[in-house]
Amino acid sequence: MPAATRAFKERYKRYVKYILPDTECASPEQAMVVTTLVNVSLLAALLVPAFVLEYALVQMWRLVVPLFVAGIVMVAAPLIYRFSRSISVAREIFIVALFSFKLWECVVFGDVVSPGAVWFIAMPLLAIMLGSVRSAVAWLLITNTAMILAHLMLGNGVVFPIPSTENPHFLYIFSHIGASFSVAVFLLIVENARRRAFQRLKIANETISDLAIRDALTGVYNRRHIVSEISRAEDAADSFSVCLLDLDHFKRINDNLGHAVGDLALQRVAVAVQDEIRQSDCFGRYGGEEFLLLLKDADLAGSKQLLERIRERIEALEIAEMESFPRITISGGVAQYRPGESGSETINRADQALYAAKAAGRNRIIFEGADQQ
């Protein structure tokens, strides 16, 4: 992105933030409407001077001055929101300013056969974009009624004879280009807001889905997810092993160094194990200071090597907060899935192996059905 575009974007973001400070705790919907208000006011800042210049060129001073005033009100609409804290007030003032000018334009041209009449379509569109369907319906009624009344009351011709009406084509073309440009930009603004909303929704959904399967403290999978992964492996009749890992004498860490250090130890252990396992394995917190590791497609020798590496890695963990404390160690029990049994039966056998590892003196991994590793 070119530096100038980046600088413009930064300035734009700062302006939006000024109009809608974070401290407001705005809902995403409110933030979207306020951003739209800022965008349409910027559009007004772009178009109004062009039209002011146009009418000045043809010396229609009756239009130049009112348009200038209406333009100031429209451009200031975000500030009106900033100080009134009411999007309805800012929206209605913006639309009233535009509508009043367009109506005045009809008066000046003597009928709705005025280059500005096409702009009546903008009022209900703006009301919808700025968050109120009720206001849009009201503006639909107001603009159409105003058009009919303007025709009935002014239909006999020009009220103020002005030189420009001798050559109206330029004014019509200019006005129609402005109106079609504005409607296209309105749609772009709405489309952008819609896309941003979908993007936010997608991120929120992904976050929720991720939170639902993660353990809040350690960030590894939670019990529900890891157990469901085991069921899935069991349904697929895959060959797999489960390993229950339990921190040794963990209670002592809590009792001597406090719960916070205990939490930190759990986090560091989880990160270390996660770092060692392969892509195909699945690791999660089973509860308390117990973790469950699902080893897929692993032969016995491979599993032994991996678990030994994990055991050594935990024993080698350096945690500054536990400097003068015995090193963390883990015990583990491993069981290989037997076709026909349930996943929870495999976990139970792993638990028995874990119990054997504890009984045999801790800091070791025992494979169910085998002697001490």
List residues near ligand GH3 by CB under 6 A.
217, 246-251, 254, 259, 262-263, 266, 288-289, 358, 362
Stretch that binds Mg ion, among 99-107, 231-239, 244-252, 308-316 (CB under 5 A): 244-252
251 binds, among Mg ion, ligand GH3, none (CB under 5 to 8 A by kind): ligand GH3
Rounded Cα distance, 167 and 219, in Å = 72
In whole angstroms, the minimum distance from the beta carbon of 78 to Mg ion comes to 59
Orientation angle between helical segments 28-57 and 77-84, nearest 10 degrees: 140
Of residues 246, 276, 281, 351, which one binds Mg ion by CB under 5 A?
A: 246
C-alpha to C-alpha distance for 55 and 97, rounded to whole angstroms: 18
Chain center to CA of 135: 28
- Nearest partner of 127 among 94, 85, 160, judged by Cα: 94
CA distances from 43 to 38, 92, 100, 260, 292 (A): 9, 17, 18, 54, 58
In the bound state with ligand GH3, the residue whose beta carbon lies nearer, of 238 and 312, is 312
Q: Which residue is nearest to ligand GH3 (CB)?
A: 262
Q: Binding to Mg ion by residue 250, rule CB under 5 A?
A: yes
Nearer to Mg ion, 131 or 333 (CB): 333
| Count of beta carbons in the 10 Å neighbourhood of residue 172 | 15
Rounded to a whole number of angstroms, the CA Rg of the chain reads 35
330 binds, among Mg ion, ligand GH3, none (CB under 5 to 8 A by kind): none
Decide which of Mg ion, ligand GH3, none touches 85; Cβ closer than 5 to 8 Å per partner kind.
none
Choose between 204 and 217: whose C-beta lies nearer to ligand GH3: 217
Residue 282 half-sphere exposure toward CB, CA atoms < 13 A? 22
- Min separation Cβ 259 and ligand GH3, Å: 4
Q: For ligand GH3, which is the closer residue by CB, 102 or 364?
A: 364
Tokens of 369: 């059905």
Residue 352, beta-bridge partner list: none
Per the structure block, which two tokens stand in for 34? 């306020």
> Nearest approach, Cβ of 288 to ligand GH3 (angstroms)?
3
Region 130-159 residues binding Mg ion, contact defined as CB under 5 A: none
Burial of 292 (0-12, 13-18, 19+ CB in 10 A): buried
| Residues recognised as catalytic | 289
Closest distance to Mg ion from the beta carbon of 301 (Å): 27
Evaluated on CA atoms 194, 24, 76, 92, the torsion sign reads: positive
Residue (70 or 357) nearer to ligand GH3, CB:
357
Residues that bind Mg ion (CB under 5 A): 246-247, 250, 289-290
